[in-house]
Chains A and B, each alone.
Chain A
Amino acid sequence: MRRQFKDTVTDLAGHDDRVVVILGDISHYLFSAFQEKHPSRFYNMGICENALISVSAGLSAQGFHPFVHTIAPFITERSLEQIKLDMCYNEFGGNILSCGSSFDYAWDGATHHCYGDLAILRLLPGMEVIQPGSRQELDVLLRSQYNNGRPTYFKLSDHPHAIDVDVRFGKGVVIKDAASPLTVVTAGPLLANVLEACKDLSVNVLYFPTIKPIDKELIARYRDTRFLVVHDGFGLREAINEVPGLNTAYHGVPDAFCVWYGTVHDIRREIGLDPAGIHSVVQQAAASRR
């Protein structure tokens, strides 16, 4: 997905001289062609995430469209107050693109994991929160949002799904409607495992690439069903519950650090987010009564 980020932003920069890339000393090699083409609009600014956000806010204040990029926990959790005040409160926009997703860096331990970014950023007034699941989704959503003057967060993963979904900002997608009393809800690359798990199960599947603003209209259409949120992070379930009176359950990250190393697939299996684990939870939920 990072390659798509580079491709899209390189294309945008060719047409829009207000595009500026700011890296926190990551993905530098990936952007070497961009740097060569637009040396004055490329800054590998340093390992100083607070400054990365504040400087981006200042650039935005004077008409630029910054794309600031580093590992998820450092740019979101460490710099939460900079995002809240310098971007949201000041109404200076900017595009924040993280890498590493929830636990792409499984082997690095919890310092490099980020389960809470979507949940904390959706609390900030004026913030847009996006978790694209595929390269194509990232491309569509970046192009539609990058220059709207609002602070926008994109949670990127190195493990995108390969499912073709027609996405639009702020809209959820009905992946499967089985007229079932159980609706499985997910976001991001995990859609691949959810679909694999649900292929033989008679359940509805909804998909939300935009976490904020959440598509309340779509959720309300399924309000008479039970919701099972299957997600490798926090924030989606909370967003779904903006529609009052829903019956929602959550299957995802436990109240613990996922510190088993290995790969993203190992951690997903450990916490029941591999296709078999999801299948078993969904099957159980479908069988149980309200």
Chain B
Amino acid sequence: MHPDCKKIRHDILIASRASGHGHIPTSFSIVEMLYATYRSMKHDPANPRSPDRDIFILSKGHGALGLYCVLANAGYFPVEEVNTFGAYLSKYGCHPDRRKVPGVEASTGSLGHGIGIAVGMALAFKLQRSPRRVFTLIGDGEANEGSTWEAIMVAVNVGLPNLTILLDFNKSQVRSLQIPNPAERLKAFGCDVHDVGGHDVAELLAALQAPARGVKAIVANTIKGYGCRTMEENIFEWHRKSPDAAQYDALLRELDAEGAAA
């Protein structure tokens, strides 16, 4: 595990323990994707509204805790602030609010919305002949939503090589409507698909930095709860749970052991 990504997972556990709010497994699932994306983007944590910045939209908004810790790690705000996650009058809600959190470009939470906004922004940059790029991260559960595929069809049809869709393929939908082969489907919809290991920062960076041949879709094969075996093996129990003191210690030990093994 990349040391920065391990640190971010530590921060996620700390904030979840401090705040009593969860969504840890989905956040663990996307740490490397977020980390690699922000490493590839043009952005300035000291000036979150800089006019030439690239855009990232977390379409699966329930990964907010992961996003906050990645933004904090990048320098947007002190990571201690995230310990107020979900608390009354905190900036850091369990779904991100663009009006409150520096670096958040769209308020999301209801699935299948952020990707459409991302398509609109990418179209705007195309019309402006701007080199700015747009990245959006969707979940495989979110790929159940028809509006997700509407947005993809429009993006491909209008031609947006400045748009990258990252799909967190963590198989979280096995108990309902799991799309078994998202890479094939995205290809069939006309995307330039990269099928990569979702916890391998180098592989993600290579896909993110590969020259765009149309709308890029990166299918990141991930493990929900990656880094803590307890969560990997009990994704439904842990979906939105916050650890108690004993669980917290155990999860930290698992995370550290995972790091040592890697």
Listed in ascending order, the chain A residues whose CB lies under 8 Å from chain B are 20, 40-41, 43, 45-46, 48, 50-51, 53-64, 66, 81-82, 85-86, 89-92
Interface of B is mostly: helix
Across-interface contacts of A40 in B (CB, < 8 A):
127
* Total contacts A-B at CB 8 Å: 97
For B121, give the chain A residue with the smallest CB separation: A58
Across-interface contacts of B99 in A (CB, < 8 A):
91
Question: For chain B residues 110-158, which have a beta carbon within 8 Å of chain A?
Answer: 110, 112-113, 115-125, 127-128, 146-147, 150-151, 153-154, 157-158
Q: Is B185 an interface residue, CB under 8 A from the partner?
A: no
Question: For chain B residues 165-185, which have a beta carbon within 8 Å of chain A?
Answer: none
Residue pair A55, B120 in contact (C-beta under 8 Å): yes
Kindly provide the distance from the CB of B105 to the nearest chain A CB, expressed in whole angstroms. 8
For A60, give the chain B residue with the smallest CB separation: B120
> Knowing A48-B153, A50-B147, A55-B154 touch, does A62 contact B110 (C-beta < 8 A)?
no
- Can you list 21 A-B pairs with a CB-CB distance of less than 8 A? A20-B127, A45-B157, A46-B157, A50-B112, A50-B146, A51-B116, A51-B147, A54-B113, A54-B119, A55-B117, A56-B120, A57-B120, A58-B116, A58-B120, A60-B120, A61-B105, A61-B121, A62-B125, A85-B107, A86-B106, A92-B117
Residue pair A85, B150 in contact (C-beta under 8 Å): no
For A87, give the chain B residue with the smallest CB separation: B117
> Knowing A58-B117, A61-B117 touch, does A85 contact B110 (C-beta < 8 A)?
yes
Q: Is B213 an interface residue, CB under 8 A from the partner?
A: no
Q: Is B49 an interface residue, CB under 8 A from the partner?
A: no
Residue pair A43, B121 in contact (C-beta under 8 Å): no
Kindly provide the distance from the CB of A126 to the nearest chain B CB, expressed in whole angstroms. 12
**B109, B121, B127, B154: the one within 8 Å of A51 (CB):** B154
Residue pair A61, B150 in contact (C-beta under 8 Å): no
Residue of B107, B117, B127 with highest tally of chain A CB at under 10 A: B117
**B110, B112, B118: the one within 8 Å of A58 (CB):** B118
Q: Is B98 an interface residue, CB under 8 A from the partner?
A: yes
Across-interface contacts of B115 in A (CB, < 8 A):
54
Kindly provide the distance from the CB of A285 to the nearest chain B CB, expressed in whole angstroms. 44
For A90, give the chain B residue with the smallest CB separation: B107
Across-interface contacts of B113 in A (CB, < 8 A):
54, 81-82, 85-86
Residue pair B151, A51 in contact (C-beta under 8 Å): yes
Residue pair A82, B124 in contact (C-beta under 8 Å): no
Kindly provide the distance from the CB of B16 to the nearest chain A CB, expressed in whole angstroms. 25
Across-interface contacts of A55 in B (CB, < 8 A):
116-117, 119-120, 123, 151, 154
